[in-house]
Amino acid sequence: MKNLRTSFPRNERDGRERGIPRLAIALQTAASLLWIAQAALIAIAIGTIADDAGAQAAAWPAAGVFALGLVRAALERAGTTRAYDVARSYLSALRARAAVAVAGRSPLDITRPSSGLVASVLTEQASAIVPYLARFGPLRFRATVVPVAILAIVFVFSWVAALVLLVAAPVIPIFMALIGWRAKAASETQLERVGDMNAFLLDRLRGLATIRAFGAVNRTADSVRANAEDLRISTMAVLRIAFLSSAVLELFASLGVALVAVYVGFHYLGELNFGAWGEKLTLAQGLFILLLAPAFFEPLRDLSSVWHDRAAGEASLEALERLAVPGPAIVGALESVAASEEGPLSVEVVDLAFRHAGTRHPVLDGLNLSIRAGEHVAFMAPSGSGKSTFLALLAGLAEPHAGAILLGGEPMDEANAARLRARIGWLGQPPHIFSGTLASNIALGRPALGRKEIDHAAMLAQIGPLAARRGGAPIGEGGAGLSGGEALRLALARAAAGSRPGLILVDEPTAHLDRATAHEITERLLALAQESTLIVATHDPTLAARVDRIIACPTGALAQVPA
Ligand X SMILES: Nc1ncnc2c1ncn2[C@@H]1O[C@H](COP(=O)(O)OP(=O)(O)OP(=O)(O)O)[C@@H](O)[C@H]1O
User: Which residues in this chain contact ligand X in the complex, by CB under 6 A?
Assistant: 108, 110, 356, 359, 363, 381, 383-389, 537
Q: How far is CA 300 from CA 27, 34, 252, 297, 391, in A?
A: 18, 17, 10, 5, 60
- What is the nearest approach in angstroms of ligand X to the Cβ of residue 397? 10
SS3 438: helix
CB 542 within 8 A of CB 522: yes
- What is the nearest approach in angstroms of ligand X to the Cβ of residue 361? 9
- The nearer residue to ligand X, 412 or 537, going by C-beta atoms, is 537
- The nearer residue to ligand X, 48 or 388, going by C-beta atoms, is 388
Q: How far is CA 431 from CA 74, 491, 492, in A?
A: 57, 6, 9
Please name the amino acid found at residue 411. Answer: P
- What is the nearest approach in angstroms of ligand X to the Cβ of residue 314? 33
CB 517 within 8 A of CB 485: yes
Q: Which residues contact 224 (CB under 8 A, 6 or more apart)?
A: 200, 201, 204
- The nearer residue to ligand X, 118 or 186, going by C-beta atoms, is 118
- The nearer residue to ligand X, 297 or 390, going by C-beta atoms, is 390
- What is the nearest approach in angstroms of ligand X to the Cβ of residue 507? 7
The full length of the chain comes to: 563
- Rounded to whole angstroms, the Cα distance separating 70 from 34 reads 11
CB 287 within 8 A of CB 42: yes
- Rounded to whole angstroms, the Cα distance separating 374 from 372 reads 6
Q: What is the DSSP letter of 10?
A: S
- What is the nearest approach in angstroms of ligand X to the Cβ of residue 389? 3
Q: Which residues contact 422 (CB under 8 A, 6 or more apart)?
A: 337, 338, 339, 340
How would you classify the pairing of strands 347-354 and 364-371? Answer: antiparallel
- Rounded to whole angstroms, the Cα distance separating 168 from 150 reads 14
CB 94 within 8 A of CB 8: yes
How would you classify the pairing of strands 503-507 and 533-537? Answer: parallel
- Rounded to whole angstroms, the Cα distance separating 491 from 505 reads 12
- What is the nearest approach in angstroms of ligand X to the Cβ of residue 189? 29
- The nearer residue to ligand X, 363 or 412, going by C-beta atoms, is 363
- What is the nearest approach in angstroms of ligand X to the Cβ of residue 121? 22
The burial of 445, by beta-carbon neighbours within 10 Å (0-12 exposed, 13-18 middle, 19 or more buried), is given as exposed
- What is the nearest approach in angstroms of ligand X to the Cβ of residue 510? 13
- Rounded to whole angstroms, the Cα distance separating 19 from 88 reads 8
- The nearer residue to ligand X, 120 or 388, going by C-beta atoms, is 388
- The nearer residue to ligand X, 142 or 387, going by C-beta atoms, is 387
User: What is the Cα 526 distance to its own chain's centre?
Assistant: 42
- The nearer residue to ligand X, 108 or 315, going by C-beta atoms, is 108
- The nearer residue to ligand X, 91 or 108, going by C-beta atoms, is 108
SS3 382: coil
- What is the nearest approach in angstroms of ligand X to the Cβ of residue 382? 7
- What is the nearest approach in angstroms of ligand X to the Cβ of residue 110? 4
- The nearer residue to ligand X, 110 or 233, going by C-beta atoms, is 110
